[in-house]
Amino acid sequence: MSKESHIFIAGARGMVGSAIERRLKEKGYRNLLVPNREELDLFNLVEVNDFFSKQKIDCVIDAAAKVGGIMANDKYRADFIHQNLLIQVNLFEAAHRNDVDNFLFLGSSCIYPKNSPQPIKEDFLLSSPLEPTNEPYAIAKIAGLKTAESFKRQYGRNYFSLMPTNLYGVNDNFHPQNSHVIPALIQRMNKAIQEGEGEFSVWGTGEPRREFLYVDDLADACIHLLEEGRDIPYWLNVGTGEDISIKNLSLLIAKLMNFKGEVVFDTSKPDGTMLKCLDVSKIKSLGWTPKVSLEEGLEKTIKWYLSSESVRSY
């Protein structure tokens, strides 16, 4: 991939896609295709293929997905598997049909079994059952990973996948019911502060440990691998290789937001997987390493959220 490459970012309005677009522009890439949902319906194969046939596309970065936290994944199971599969199938089909040789598919660390040994290596894929609450989403992402692998094996195309750990950052989804853990904690804690609450409740025991990656670090990983141009493995983990308990994460966010009340834990709610930390030795061996610490990333995310709070409808 060069500065002159025509790069299509699917899902460029989301947290991941917008971070990738932002970082590409900062590095001097200008031929970026970033249509919104009104301009391109990713659920419509005819429309997607027509878009590919009319554009000179050298590379596809698939950051388009229906995503959410534990509650959303468990409640909207059909939506999560069906919509994600449909987007993936259409993009791979159009890219292959229109002879696009470079395709980066972005998945999720939830593809790995619920009880994987820690840290989780790429080789652990499909070695035992998935976490039930997000199984439909995970299956869709596994299908995307295997589609990229299969096109590479059969046709020799440079299609590969990255499996990020839990992401957060600027332009995240802060919906009170359908967001991931960090934006959900930030949104709810801000509400508690505004309402003068003396207690803040967190789902579960607080004992599960999670790994978090600031979204700009993921964007840098994507660009680094695409620029390398060398033979990339079929899929790679992307993360920090370090985790934190939900309890300590909640307390850190409380400190950064200056919440003066007590943080308590609702043990009647599910914990999910107790441990989930990625082995990132493979991607680090290719020259990438994360730069943003958890505290720094949280400070940036909180500042962005509070600065844009007035325009939110929830």
Residue-wise pLDDT tens digits, 2-14: 899 999 999 999 9
pLDDT surpasses 60 at 199: yes
The tens digit of pLDDT for each residue in 227-257 reads: 987 789 999 999 999 999 999 999 999 999 9
- Spot the catalytic one: 112, 137, 168, 305: 137
159 is catalytic: no
313: pLDDT strictly greater than 60: no
160 strand-pairing partners:
104
pLDDT at residue number 45: 97
- Mean pLDDT, the chain, rounded, equals 94
Residues belonging to the chain: 314
Give per-residue pLDDT as tens, 135-145. 999 999 999 99
How large a percentage of the chain has pLDDT more than 70? 97
Q: Considering only CA atoms, which of 212, 264, 261, 271 is closest in space to residue 238?
A: 212
The whole-number pLDDT of residue 309 equals: 60
**pLDDT for res 175:** 81
Amino acid at 295: E
Under 8 Å between Cβ of 99 and 154:
no
Report residue 310's pLDDT band, with 50, 70 and 90 as the boundaries: very low
Q: Which residues are 167's β-sheet partners?
A: 213
Please, which pLDDT band fits residue 185 given cuts at 50, 70 and 90? very high
Q: Which tokens is 62 given?
A: 């698939």
pLDDT attached to residue 312: 54
Higher pLDDT, 269 or 305: 305
What are the structure tokens assigned to 179, written together?
């967001």
Q: Is 261 exposed, middle or buried (CB count within 10 Å of its CB: 0-12, 13-18, 19+)?
A: middle
Per-residue pLDDT tens for 93-113?
A: 999 999 999 999 999 999 999
State yes or no: pLDDT of 128 exceeds 50: yes
* Torsional sign, CA 171, 177, 179, 184: positive
Q: What is the value of pTM for the model shown?
A: 0.93
- The closest alpha carbon to 197, from 265, 259, 264, belongs to 259
13: nearest Cα among 169, 165, 172, 133: 172
Give me 44's structure tokens. Answer: 């419509």
**Exposed / middle / buried, residue 55 (Cβ in 10 Å: 0-12, 13-18, 19+):** middle
3-state secondary structure 218-282: HHHHHHHHHHHCCCCCCEEEECCCCCEEHHHHHHHHHHHCCCCCEEEEECCCCCCCCEECECCHH
Quote the pLDDT of residue 279. Answer: 98
Single-letter amino acid, residue 313: S
Mean pLDDT, rounded, for 130-137 = 92
DSSP state of 305: H
Predicted confidence band of residue 69 (pLDDT cuts 50, 70, 90) = confident
Domains, the chain, ordered by start: 7-311 (3.40.50.720)
What is the percent of the chain with per-residue pLDDT over 90, rounded to a whole number? 85
E strand or H helix at 161:
strand 158-164
Contact assessment for residue 19 and residue 247, using Cβ atoms and an 8 Å cutoff: no
Alpha-carbon gap, residue 248 to 240, rounded angstroms: 17
Taking alpha carbons only, the member of 233, 236, 241, 235 closest to residue 276 is: 241
Q: Is 313 or 206 the better-scoring residue by pLDDT?
A: 206
Q: Give residue 5's pLDDT.
A: 95
